[in-house]
């Protein structure tokens, strides 16, 4: 049987081992604990050539793909869409997380009925079943304007419970213009929020011509939502891959970034161009996109893109320039 001296030697050895550099918890570097910076890209699944177009995306440059929009029919059911299955498979092959996005700016009028107390539980189960069917990694809630009603917080909470049980993400698309409508007790349930920092003006307001997504809007939007969220890693700054044009006699138009730079040499280095008919097209060129990405790195947790398939190829790609800034 060991004597007291043996016990003391053993105890001393154990204490020394516990103090070795490789065993100290505080040796973990702070940067290793930081949440990864996200690049979230939306795709409109209603495009006729969406699968072929998506195949041209360099998925190594994004972390999350949001498929917009997967909405119920008037009976609250979600029809199976083969296109969604194909896009999920494509993104997962590149280790990109995929979310189905519900709602949108042109939400079906009947959608909000399913948030009410008497329909919410069944609707949430139907939504969860759709997410399971598509084998996605989460759900993105893009409810805007009047759709953020008295039932919004209860809906988000109920959906969050189901998502967490399945280890899936729950995110939201938000805009500062109706930021006060979002209850604080709803925001806490989202893993992160995609800030729609664009559409300050547009074809719906032809008398208010000008930039729809200027840099100072991004600054102000991040500041506002920072005051609503305790963690900057949850703030994903949205940027547009399209422009709005304003001309005489209230003539307006919209164009994807790819079409703008294809028609006008050097347009990728500016934020506006005068078109052949005198209409002024406002958008975000490479310098502004880079500056916004740097801002998001400093003040937020990621960049969100509306919409990926509006990008240009090669060196003028906005996604490539976003990726270059992130990797600097």
Q: What is the mean pLDDT of residues 292-301?
A: 98
pLDDT tens digit string along 130-162?
999 999 999 999 999 999 999 999 999 999 999
Per DSSP, which regions of the chain are E strands? 38-44, 64-68, 97-103, 138-142, 169-174, 192-195, 235-240, 242-246, 252-256, 272-274, 280-282, 302-306
H-type alpha helices, 55-179: 82-93, 120-134, 152-165
pLDDT tens digit string along 57-115?
999 999 999 999 999 999 999 999 999 999 999 999 999 999 999 999 999 999 999 99
- Flag whether pLDDT at 318 surpasses 60: yes
pLDDT tens digit string along 232-258?
999 999 999 999 999 999 999 999 999
**Could you count the other beta carbons within 10 Å of the beta carbon of residue 132?**
12
Domains of the chain, each with CATH number or no CATH: 32-242+284-326 (3.20.20.80)
User: Among 165, 118, 117, 168, which residue's Cα sits nearest to residue 141?
Assistant: 168
Question: What is the structure's pLDDT at 22?
Answer: 40
Question: What is the structure's pLDDT at 229?
Answer: 78
Cα–Cα distance measured from residue 74 to residue 174, given in angstroms and rounded to the nearest whole number: 25
Cα–Cα distance measured from residue 90 to residue 98, given in angstroms and rounded to the nearest whole number: 10
User: Do the beta carbons of residue 224 and residue 266 sit within 8 Å?
Assistant: no
Instruction: Give 34's pLDDT tier (boundaries 50, 70, 90).
Output: low
User: Among 286, 285, 281, 274, which residue's Cα sits nearest to residue 210?
Assistant: 281
Q: What backbone phi and psi angles, to 5 degrees, belong to 99?
A: -125, 145
- Model confidence pTM above 0.75: yes
Helix (H) or strand (E) holding 298: helix 286-299
Question: What is the structure's pLDDT at 49?
Answer: 95
User: What mean pLDDT, rounded, does the chain reach?
Assistant: 91
Question: What is the structure's pLDDT at 33?
Answer: 52
């Amino acid at each position: 049987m060991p004597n007291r001296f043996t016990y003391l030697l053993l105890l001393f050895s154990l204490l020394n081992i516990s103090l070795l550099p490789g065993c100290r918890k505080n040796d973990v570097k702070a940067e290793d604990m930081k949440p990864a910076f996200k690049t979230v890209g939306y795709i409109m699944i209603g495009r006729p050539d969406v699968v072929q177009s998506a195949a041209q995306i360099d998925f190594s440059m994004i972390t999350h793909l949001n498929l917009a929009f997967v909405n119920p029919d008037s009976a609250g059911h979600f029809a199976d869409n083969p296109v969604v299955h194909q896009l999920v498979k494509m993104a997962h092959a590149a280790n990109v997380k995929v979310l189905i996005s519900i709602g949108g700016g042109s939400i079906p009028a009947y959608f909000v009925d399913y948030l009410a107390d008497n329909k919410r539980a069944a609707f949430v189960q139907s939504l969860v079943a759709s997410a399971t069917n598509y084998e996605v990694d989460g759900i993105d809630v893009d409810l805007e304007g009047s759709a953020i009603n008295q039932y919004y917080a209860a809906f988000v909470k109920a959906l969050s419970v189901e998502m967490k049980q399945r280890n899936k993400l729950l995110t939201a698309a938000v805009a500062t213009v109706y930021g006060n409508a979002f209850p604080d007790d709803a925001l806490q349930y989202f893993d992160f929020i995609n800030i729609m920092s664009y559409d300050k003006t547009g074809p719906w307001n032809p008398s208010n011509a000008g930039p729809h997504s200027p840099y100072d809007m991004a600054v102000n939007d991040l500041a506002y939502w920072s005051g609503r969220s305790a963690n900057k890693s949850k703030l994903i700054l949205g940027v547009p891959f399209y422009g709005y044009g304003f001309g005489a006699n209230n003539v307006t138009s919209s164009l994807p970034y790819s079409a703008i730079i294809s028609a006008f040499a050097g347009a990728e280095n500016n934020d506006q161009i005068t078109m052949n008919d005198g209409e002024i097209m406002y958008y975000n060129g490479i310098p502004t996109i880079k500056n916004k990405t740097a801002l998001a790195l400093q003040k937020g947790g990621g960049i969100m893109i509306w919409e990926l398939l509006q990008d240009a190829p090669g060196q003028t790609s906005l996604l490539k320039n976003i990726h270059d800034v992130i990797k600097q």
